[in-house]
Amino acid sequence: MPIEGRFAHIEGRVDSGAAEAGYDVTIRIAAGSVLMRRNGYEEWAKSPEFFDVQQHPWIEFSATDVPHSLLQDGGPLRGELQLRGFRRPIVLTLQAATCATPGLGCPVQAAGQIDRSDFGMQTKRVLIGEHVRLDFEFLLKSEASDADQP
């Protein structure tokens, strides 16, 4: 039986470097903003057994030199995930765009999987399992649009 959750606070940045270098991507997720159907699951997810939000309030993903074509064509996004003080390589798979301006005109969709033990999460493995599947989508907005907000 899958246990699903989502995060209420996610922030990120995509910087375009030189034309040949590609993008630099940084995503930060407030671990304490996890939302789940049952309050007991939510409290456990925030506890030292899982995210340990008191010691590690942010989950961070970063990738450098991401090819410009990846947002349009889809494919593997290789980067590093920092979770609970552990930094590990991870590959997310981006779906091909459904519009001409991915991230602006349509969401970018991505999926991946991590092994909990790689990040020091050892408890309740029989109930939850070793693998955590990540599915998400995001839209981009320019910093100029932030400045325009009152």
pLDDT at 26 over 70: yes
Q: Determine the distance from the C-alpha atom of residue 133 to the mean position of all C-alpha atoms in its chain, rounded to a whole number.
A: 11
CA–CA gap between residue 20 and residue 114 (Å, rounded): 30
CA–CA gap between residue 42 and residue 47 (Å, rounded): 9
Of residues 82, 79, 83, 114, the one with CA closest to residue 94: 79
pLDDT at 9 over 50: yes
pLDDT in tens, 38-67: 878 899 889 998 899 999 999 999 999 999
Specify whether the CB–CB gap between 108 and 138 falls below 8 A: yes
Query: HSE (CB half, 13 Å, CA atoms) of 41?
Result: 12
pLDDT at 147 over 60: no
Which tokens hold the place of 9? 């606070």
pLDDT for residue 150: 45
Domains annotated on the chain, with CATH: 7-142 (2.40.128.110)
Read off the pLDDT of each residue in 114-140 and give the average, rounded to a whole number.
80
Which tokens hold the place of 140? 């981009």
Proportion of the chain above pLDDT 90, given as a percent = 50
What's the pLDDT band for 18 if we cut at 50, 70, 90?
low
pLDDT in tens, 61-112: 999 999 988 989 999 999 999 999 999 999 999 999 999 988 889 999 999 9
Radius of gyration of the CA atoms of the chain, in A:
16
Cα separations in angstroms, 85 against 23, 42, 54, 55: 25, 20, 12, 9
pLDDT for residue 71: 87
More confident residue, 109 or 142: 109
Site of tokens 């910087």: 15
Average pLDDT of the chain to the nearest whole number: 86
Read off the pLDDT of each residue in 130-144 and give the average, rounded to a whole number.
80
Which tokens hold the place of 75? 């494919």
The amino acid occupying position 98 is T
